[in-house]
Structure formats: C-alpha cells, structure tokens
Structure 1
Amino acid sequence: MEKNELKILAQHLANPQGEKGLEIGEMMHATNIGMTLESIKTLLIEDDEHILEIGHGNAGHVKSILNKAQNLHYTGIDISETMHHEAKRLNEKFKDQAAFVLYEGTKLPFRDKTFDKIFTVNTVYFWQQPVEYLNEVYRVLKDNGTFVLTFGQRDFMEKLPFTQFDFTLYNSDEMEETVSKSHFKRMKISEKEEEVKSKTGKDTITRNYTVLTIKK
C-alpha cells in the first residue's frame, strides 16, 4: 500500500466514515472478533447486568453478549456516525436490550456508577488523554464492577504499516503504568496470541495482545 492509502486506512480505523467506513467496519469486526470474544468472556457477565462497550464498531457481536446471561442491557458508544447507524441497523432486533450512543470521544455521557461491566477493544491507541479517559471509565463503573481493556501489544503493532499514523502504542508494562496513574486500584494482566488476517488484506499474522482486567 502507498503511504497515502495507509494514512487513510489509519484514519478509518480510528473513525470509520461513509461507504469506505462500512467496509472497514466489516473488516475490523472480522479481524477483531477473537479479541472481542475473549474480552466478553473475561467480563464474567451475570444476570441483570448493564454492559458498556466503548468503540463498538459495527457491533456484529452484540448477540454474543446478550446470550451470556438473562435480562442484560447493552450500551455501545462510538465516535463514528457511520458505525453508530450501522450498529443500530445490524442490531434492530435487539433494540429492547441494546442502545447505541454517539459521542465526542472524551466525556462519557452517563451518570456516575451506571454500569456493572465495561469493555473496550483496540481503542486505547486513539485516546488523547488516557489517564483522564480512564478516570471517566472509573466514574461510570459501579464500585464492584469490572473494566476489561484489550489492545495489541506494541511489538506486534509496530510491525503494521498504518500504525505510524496517529496511533499511540503500548506494551503491557506501559499500559499497567498508565492505569496506575488513574483512580483504578487493581488490575490483572493476561497476554494472548492468535492468528489473524492482516488489515491490509494480505497474509495471516500472529497477533500478540493484552487483556487487562481492572477493578476499583
């Protein structure tokens, strides 16, 4: 891919827009589904819980969440208007249990202690002020709640040609240090790897990623 194409891809990965954004949303769902399902599993979802996902993409995985327990409510939040509308379209039949919110990317538009479980996959690279953002997550999470933060490790991400454009990369230690500067007090690190198709559409690659389970 040419440099300009890579830059456009990076922009769509951060904030998918228009027809190209819909394509990128489908591709992200396919390449991220392993990380997403691992994150959902790590949440240990129970009956009657309210789940928040930050950066839901096309939200093709919502059914997997709602099948985890009884009487669940899911809220997805995203900065992409394209993904917001696509997620609502794809999950129309779950509209009694799933809501989608469009926001500006820094302040979570919810009351304090709203959610039992919160998770996010492959969004941390785009947080402008990560400690302040983590404190927003802390604010809307219930006292006994769980926050799962999942991201590709720096060593892996640096090999991807598009991450040179406006991605902030972390290894597990760097992310642990960042979380420790926030209000959160406890975390558990789990490092994983999986075989995935490259986002540039070429070979299968081994992705190393981290699942952080974070508590107040």
Structure 2
Amino acid sequence: MEEKDLKILAKNLANPEGETGIKVGEMMNATNIGMTLESIKTLLVEDDEHILEIGHGNAADVKSLLHLAQNLKYTGIDISETMNSEAKRLNENFKSQAEFILYEGKKLPFEDKVFDKIFTVNTVYFWENPKEYLNEIYRVLKDNGTFVLTFAQRDFMETLPFTLYDFKLYNSDEMQEIVSESYFKRMKISEKEEQVQSKAGTETVTRLYTVLTIKK
C-alpha cells in the first residue's frame, strides 16, 4: 500500500468515517474477533450484569455476548459517528438490552460505579493520556468489578506499516507499569497468539497479544 493509503487506513482504524469507515469496521470485526471473544470469555459474565465495551466498532459481537447469561445489559461507547450508527443498525433487534453512546474519547459519560464488567480491545493505542483514562474506567467500575484490557503487543504491531501513523504501541511490561500507576490495585496478565489476516494485505500473520484482567 502507498503511504497515503496507509494514512487513510490508520485514520479509519482510530476513528472510522463514512463508507470507508464502514468497510474498515467490518474488517476490524473480522480480524479482531478472536481477541474480542477471548476478552469476553475472560470477563466471566454472570446473570444481571451491566457490561461496558469501550470502542465497540460495528458491535457485530454483541449478540453472542448477550446470550452468555440472563438479563444482561450492554452499553457500548465509541468516538466514531459511523460506528455508532452501524452498531445501532446491526443490533436493532437487541435495543432493549443494548445501547450505544457517542462520546469525545476522554471522559466516560457515566456516574460512578455503574458497571459490573468493562472491556476494550485494540483501543489503547489511541488513548491520549492512558493513566487518566484508566482512572476514568476505575471510577465507573463497581468495587467488585472486572476490567479486561486487550491489545496487540508492540513487537507485532511494529511489523504493520500503518502503525507508523498516530499509534502509541506497548509491550506487556509497559502497559502493566501504566496500570500500576493508576488507581487500580490488582491485575493478571495472559499473553496469547493467533493467526490472522493482515489489515494491510492478504497474507496470514501471527499476532501476539496481551489480555490484562484488572481489578480494584
């Protein structure tokens, strides 16, 4: 891909817009589904819980999440107007249980201690101030809640040409250090790998990623 195409891809991975954004959202859902399902499994979802997903994309995975337990409520937030619209369209049948909120990406628009479980996949590269954002997540998580933070590791991400443009990359140790500087007190780390289709081409690559299970 040429530089201008890589920049367009990078921009739409951070904040999908328009028709290109819809296509990128579909591609993200397909390539990230393994990481997303692993994150949801790690949450250990139980009946009657309220779950927040940060950076929901097109939210094509919400149906499978809602079937994991009884009487679940799902809230998804995203900075992309395009993904907000797509998520609502794709989950029209679940609007009694699932809501999608557009926000500015810094302050979570919720009261304190609202959510039982929170998860986010491949969004940390775009957090402007990670420690402050983690403290926002801490604020809206219940005292006995679980936050699952999942991201592809620096060594893998550096092999992808589009990450040169406005991506902040981390390895497991770096992210653990940032979390330890936030209000959160406990975390468990799990490192995984999977075979995925490259976003910038058609080849299959081995993705190394980290799942952090974080508690107060």
| TM-score between both structures, scaled by the size of structure 2 | 1.00
The residue that corresponds to 2:56 in the other structure is 56
The residue that corresponds to 1:159 in the other structure is 159
The residue that corresponds to 1:147 in the other structure is 147
Give the partner amino acid of 2:184: F
| TM-score between both structures, scaled by the size of structure 1 | 1.00
The residue that corresponds to 1:36 in the other structure is 36
Runs of 4+ in structure 1 off by over 6 angstroms are none
Aligned residues: 216
State the secondary structure of the residue aligned to 2:208.
Answer: strand
Once the two structures are superposed, the pairs formed by residues 77-92 of structure 1 within 5 Å of their partners are: 77-92=77-92
The residue that corresponds to 2:25 in the other structure is 25
Q: CA RMSD in A?
A: 0.4
The residue that corresponds to 1:75 in the other structure is 75
The answer for unaligned runs of 5 or more in structure 1 is: none
Give the partner amino acid of 1:88: K
Give the partner amino acid of 2:31: T
Percent identical among aligned pairs is: 78
Give the distance between the partners of 1:149 and 1:111, measured in 2 at CA.
21
| TM-fit CA distance, 1:64 | 1.1
Give the partner amino acid of 2:143: D
Give the distance between the partners of 2:174 and 2:182, measured in 1 at CA.
13
State the secondary structure of the residue aligned to 2:59.
Answer: coil
The residue that corresponds to 2:138 in the other structure is 138
State the secondary structure of the residue aligned to 1:128.
Answer: coil
| TM-fit CA distance, 1:163 | 0.3
Give the distance between the partners of 2:56 and 2:87, measured in 1 at CA.
8
Once the two structures are superposed, the pairs formed by residues 101-180 of structure 1 within 5 Å of their partners are: 101-180=101-180
The answer for unaligned runs of 5 or more in structure 2 is: none
The residue that corresponds to 1:182 in the other structure is 182
Give the distance between the partners of 1:153 and 1:80, measured in 2 at CA.
24
| TM-fit CA distance, 1:129 | 0.2
State the secondary structure of the residue aligned to 2:22.
Answer: helix
Give the distance between the partners of 1:180 and 1:64, measured in 2 at CA.
32
Instruction: Provide Cα deviations, 1:168-187, integer angstroms capped at 9, x if missing partner.
Output: 00000000000011000000
Give the distance between the partners of 1:81 and 1:113, measured in 2 at CA.
26
State the secondary structure of the residue aligned to 2:45.
Answer: coil
Give the distance between the partners of 2:168 and 2:200, measured in 1 at CA.
19
Give the distance between the partners of 2:125 and 2:181, measured in 1 at CA.
17
Give the partner amino acid of 1:41: K
